[in-house]
Amino acid sequence: MTPRERSARWTGLGLALAGAVGLGVFWGQHLTISQATPNPTTDALSLAFSQVAQNARPSVVNIRAAGPSLARGMGGATGSGFVIDRDGHVVTNLHVVQNAARLTVRLADGTQLPARFVAGDAETDLAVLKLVGRISVPPLAFGDSDALRVGEWVVAIGSPFGLDQTVTTGVISAKDRVTDRRNNLQQFLQTDAAINFGNSGGPLLNLAGEVIGVNTQIASRDGSYSGIGFALPSITVREVARQLIERGQVSRSLLGVQVDRVTPQFARIYGLPDEQGALIQYVEEGGAAYAAGLRSGDVVVAYANRRITSERDLIRELAATPGDTTVEVRYFRNGKPAAVTLRTEERTSSAIQTMRPRFERRGGPSSDASPEEPETTLRRLGLNVSDASPLKLMQLGVKDIYTGQAGALITEVSPVGLAAENGLQEGMLITAVNRRPVRTADDFLGALAALRPGDDLVLAVSRPLGRAPQGERRAVTNFFSFTLP
């Protein structure tokens, strides 16, 4: 699939989504290891990288999205994500999954599971999925991205170009990077760890194995890896994911102000102790800030007991605070400190949904749901069946052609359904479901009626192989297996 690509200009470079860019090699400029003379320091660093990768990889997943508006192939059929709790919730980028009609997740051991789209937040380009199936995947823990220092080592894991479980390393190159001035909610960690086609949504980890970012963008002139990647900080990811799971959308606070940085000139003229804080340029009448007495020219230096060093800090704190929350704001006015307690307004983001073609399910049943009507399961599989005529059985090379009861003939396959994704085609003959023989379409529907979402499904399917040397048609049996969504 081809994900929705964004572009922006930053220091003369074009920005490309990590789901649609190339990954390069970083290692040589940072570390040279002499094989002749072992170095305890580099050996310890190498061991630390290896340990992080070993512990984290079972929790990192490959995400395959299918839909009518998504092209298959290297251009965006896959992305990355990681499990964040024991309930099977997965964090990824919204641009990886937004237009998907069906989502399939592949685990580190090769297990493939369907996933349900929970919700997404366009302002941070984050989304949460939920694995469907009876399987336990260890979650990754979030670290404190605010505590990161420039120069710290980090590890990225993802699926560049569809290559699952690829590990790259680098350092934190900078913090609080804003790549799109129209969206101050995306304040990125910059890293030189290689980020690529399919890396979008994957974790950036510290050497303690904690998630400190979600890999999202790169800076590049031509779409190839150029040593500059951007990850959304964990302090943002953790709060957005929590609200998406609990509320299905993100609630953010509003003060009704426009803010800017404090310049050295302003600090000197207005008698500020330093250049830190968020300068209020405009106060909207009737808003929370205006009602509390804040005015143009005030400089906010603390919000809800958190220090504000720049206008970006205040924007981020407002985004992390649910609306209708009582907070204390400390500020300077004409060089004198003051404080006020106010109740924020609420700004709720729109719920993001995915597109669903007619074959696809619209609900999100859990793995312990009740059996469904077989017609519903058929739609979710993305196929239709009928009894096979004797002529059709003869064409398929099936020997039992006289009764016309040798299986369920596939008569229609959705191009974006689970059946098509796993190789099933129109004209194939289903002869068994989970080892249960199928001789008619009704047999097939009856077998489906006993299954639940999250159950394994193995189909024995007969397909024509060609003619034998004596001229008679031959059929071969293949097996197709997947998990029901």
Query: Model confidence over 312-361: pLDDT tens digits?
Result: 889 888 888 888 899 999 999 999 999 999 999 987 665 555 443 333 33
- 3-state DSSP assignment of residue 183: coil
Q: How far apart, in Å, are the Cα atoms of 463 and each of 393, 443, 479?
A: 10, 19, 11
> What domains are defined for the chain?
9-247 (2.40.10.120), 251-348 (2.30.42.10), 374-483 (2.30.42.10)
- Residue 369, pLDDT above cutoff 70: no
Model confidence band, residue 468 (pLDDT cutoffs 50, 70, 90): low
Q: Residue range 373-381: average pLDDT? A: 69
Model confidence band, residue 1 (pLDDT cutoffs 50, 70, 90): very low
Q: Take residue 290 and report the two structure tokens written for it.
A: 């205006």
Residue 394: in which H helix or E strand, if any?
helix 390-396
Q: What is the pLDDT of residue 179?
A: 73
Residue % of the chain over a pLDDT of 90: 39
Choose from 5-19, 27-41, 210-224 the range with maximum mean pLDDT. 210-224
Strand partners of residue 154: 170
Q: What is the pLDDT of residue 374?
A: 58
Q: Report the mean per-residue pLDDT for the chain.
A: 80
User: What angle in degrees, to the nearest 10, is found between the helix axes of 311-320 and 234-247?
Assistant: 30
Rg over CA atoms, the chain: 27
Q: pLDDT higher for 387 or 212? A: 212
Q: What is the pLDDT of residue 81?
A: 96
Q: What is the pLDDT of residue 163?
A: 85
Spot the catalytic one: 200, 234, 253, 414. 200
Q: What is the pLDDT of residue 370?
A: 45
Q: What is the pLDDT of residue 380?
A: 73
Can you tell me which residue has the tokens 């290297």? Answer: 74
Q: What is the pLDDT of residue 103?
A: 87
Can you tell me which residue has the tokens 């092209």? Answer: 71
Q: What is the pLDDT of residue 206?
A: 96
Q: What is the pLDDT of residue 397?
A: 64
Model confidence band, residue 82 (pLDDT cutoffs 50, 70, 90): very high
Residue 253 falls in the annotated catalytic set: no
- DSSP code, position 193: S
Model confidence band, residue 4 (pLDDT cutoffs 50, 70, 90): very low
C-alpha span between 65 and 427 (Å, rounded): 26
- Residue 69, pLDDT above cutoff 70: no
Q: Residue range 28-49: average pLDDT? A: 64
Q: Which of 111, 19, 6 is CA-nearest to residue 74?
A: 19
Q: What is the pLDDT of residue 211?
A: 97
Q: What is the pLDDT of residue 303?
A: 95
Evaluated on CA atoms 95, 114, 233, 218, the torsion sign reads negative
Q: Residue range 473-480: average pLDDT? A: 78
Residue % of the chain over a pLDDT of 70: 77
- Residue 74, pLDDT above cutoff 70: no
Q: Which of 343, 421, 336 is CA-nearest to residue 382?
A: 421
- SS3 letters across 415-471: CCCHHHHCCCCCCCEEEEECCEECCCHHHHHHHHHCCCCCCEEEEEEEEEEEECCCC
- Residue 166, pLDDT above cutoff 80: yes
Spot the catalytic one: 89, 121, 125, 234. 125
Q: What is the pLDDT of residue 9?
A: 38
**Low-confidence winner among 72-81, 249-258, 302-311, 389-398 (lowest mean pLDDT):** 72-81
Q: What is the pLDDT of residue 65?
A: 86
Q: What is the pLDDT of residue 126?
A: 94
- Residue 469, pLDDT above cutoff 60: no
Q: What is the pLDDT of residue 20?
A: 40
Strand partners of residue 432: 437, 460
Residue 125 falls in the annotated catalytic set: yes
Q: What is the pLDDT of residue 451?
A: 84
Q: What is the pLDDT of residues 395-429, one digit of tens each?
A: 776 655 444 457 889 988 887 677 887 888 888 89
Q: What is the pLDDT of residue 38?
A: 62
Residue 145 falls in the annotated catalytic set: no
- Residue 48, pLDDT above cutoff 60: yes
Q: What is the pLDDT of residues 202-239, one digit of tens each?
A: 999 999 999 999 999 887 766 667 788 999 999 999 99
207, 103 contact by CB (below 8 A): no
Model confidence band, residue 365 (pLDDT cutoffs 50, 70, 90): very low
Q: Mark 275-295 as b/e (b = at least 16 C-beta within 10 Å).
A: bbbbbbeebeeebbbbebebe
- Residue 112, pLDDT above cutoff 80: yes
* First-residue to last-residue Cα distance in the chain: 20
Spot the catalytic one: 59, 95, 234, 349. 95
